[in-house]
Amino acid sequence: MLYSSTSVGQILNIDREGTDDSTFKKLFFVSSFSLSSDKQKNNVLNFSSSIEAGRNFENNYSIIAIGKNDAIFNGSATIQNEGQLQLRYRDLDKRKSSIESYVQYQWNGAWGMEYRSLLGANLRLKFLEKKKSDLYLGLGLFREWERWNWSGVKNELIPDNASAITSVIFRLNSYAKYSIKLSERVDVSAISYLQFPLYGNIYDPRWYFESNLYIVAGKNLNFLIHWDHIYDERRLVPIDNFYYTFSTGIQFNY
C-alpha cells in the first residue's frame, strides 16, 4: 500500500531539510496514492491520496496548493471520509521574517464535521538555519467557520431533535516547525500547532502535531513513516478530544 496521510496538518514538502535548495525550480509536484479492496460481508474499499503542487517565484515567494483525502467504503455505506484543501502564499525560507497567508477547507465525516473553513495569516520567523537543520516559529490569527452534525456521537449522547451546529470565531495560531537531515538519505520534518479561541473559553486549546521520517530510495522515490495527533478541548459535539494517525509507505516526487 502506498503512503497516505489521514491528517489535517500542514507540513509541506518544501519544508524538508532533505530537499535540494541549491536548484531553483519554478514548479514542483509531490503525490501519494493508496487503493485497497477487501471482501468481507461487503466489499471494503479504502482510497487515500495526498497532493502538493506549487509555483515558486523569483522574489523567493511561493503559491502552494495542498489536497488530502482518505475514504473507506463498506458496500454502499461510507465508514470514513475526511480531507482538506489548502492554498498558501509564503516565503521560501529566505527571509528572517515574513508574512504568510492561507485559506483552507476541511471535512471529516467520521467525526461529524461537515466543514471547517479557515482564512488567516501568520508572521513567520527564521529562528535557526544551519546546513542540516532549521527551526521556524510562527504567530498569527485566523477566522474559522465550522458546521457539525451528530453522526460521530454515541447514540446515548445525542439530544432529542438534534440539529447541525455552526460556529464562527477568531483563533490565535502559533506553531514551531523543525527539520533535520540525519544523513544523505534520511531526514525528518515535524511541526506543532497550538491554537486558542479569542473569545469564549480562551483556555480551550487545539494542539496538532505532525511528523514525517523520509528515507530517500531514489531520485523521485521516498519511503515514509508518518505520525500525527490532534487534541481539541473545544468540540461542538461530544466526541473524543484526542485522535491520532500512524502510517508507512512510499512517496513519489516530481
State the DSSP string of 41-58: SSEEEEEEEEEEEEEE-T
Give the pLDDT of residue 200.
75
pTM: 0.81
Cell of 178: 523543525
Average pLDDT over residues 186-204: 90
CATH topology of domain 13-253: Porin (2.40.160)
Give the pLDDT of residue 8.
41
97 vs 218, residue with greater confidence: 97
Q: Classify residue 172 by its DSSP letter.
A: E
Rounded Cα distance between 71 and 83, Å, is 9
Give the pLDDT of residue 22.
44
106 vs 17, residue with greater confidence: 106
